[in-house]
Amino acid sequence: MIDNKGNYKWHTYLKQSELLYARGNRRENLCGELAKQIVLIAKTYGCGIAIEDLKFKNDKDVGSKFARIKHGFIYSKLLTMLESACIREGIEIIKVKPQFTSKIGLYKYCHQYGM
């Protein structure tokens, strides 16, 4: 969570390790529960949600291990559920370009807060 000036306040990690190996319907249910938790946190603190707008290329020139990981990655389903939950609850959701977000977090927050 950051304040209106862009300064770090706190963070939390919502872990769902079962997403890696759960079957289709269970995976969809876990995405819905995760989206509900995110919306509840945003509603409690009265803030909006910023997400990275990731796009994955359709490379067929990858190994079988990466292809299996990529196929099981349900980012788009999680985003659609999160967007619909935010619209339903009236919470602002912003898509940001992912170009420098990890580097900004690395240089601005990680060392300062020991993450």
Chain centroid to Cα 31, Å, comes to 11
Q: DSSP state, 56?
A: -
CA-wise closest residue to 78 among 97, 98, 93: 93
Interval 1-16: pLDDT, tens: 777 777 767 778 888 8
Three-state SS at 22: coil
Residues 31-43: what's their mean pLDDT?
92
Give the per-residue pLDDT at 60: 62
**114 torsion bin: left (phi>0), alpha (psi -120 to 50), beta (else):** left
Instruction: Pick the closest to residue 50 from 58, 42, 62, 40 (CA basis).
Output: 42
H helices of the chain, where?
A: 24-45, 64-72, 75-89, 101-105, 111-113
Predicted confidence band at 113 (pLDDT cuts at 50, 70, 90)? Answer: low
> What's the pLDDT tens digit per position in 81-109?
999 999 999 998 888 877 766 666 666 66
How confident is the model at residue 99, as a pLDDT?
Answer: 72
Q: What is the pLDDT of residue 46?
A: 85
Mean pLDDT over the full length of the chain = 78
* Predicted confidence (pLDDT) per residue in 51-77, tens digit: 887 766 665 656 777 666 666 667 778
